[in-house]
Amino acid sequence: MIWISTAVGLAVLGLAVLGVLGARVFVAARDLSRELDRTRQRLERHSGEFRVRIGTNRDGQG
């Protein structure tokens, strides 16, 4: 009987560990998504100037 209780306890403990690790992955993915959005917005601000400079180089002027 004690073996069954021990096995159930270990199973519950293992599920709790997996739950905590899953929550950490979820939070990290959410933070990464926010950082990517922030970086995308910063790059879009400068993309017009970048395209103008590339166009200048392609025309042989730069």
pLDDT at res. 24: 98
pLDDT digits (tens, 9 = 90+) for 1-31: 899 999 999 999 999 999 999 999 999 999 9
The larger pLDDT score, comparing residue 60 to residue 20, is at 20
Cα dist from 5 to 1, 12, 15, 18, 54, whole Å: 7, 11, 15, 20, 69
Alpha-helical regions (H) of 1-62: 2-58
Domain ranges of the chain: 16-54
pLDDT at res. 61: 55
Q: Say what percent of the chain tops pLDDT 90.
A: 65
Provide the sign of the torsion angle of the four alpha carbons 24, 27, 30, 36, taken in this order.
negative
pLDDT at res. 34: 97
Residues in the chain: 62
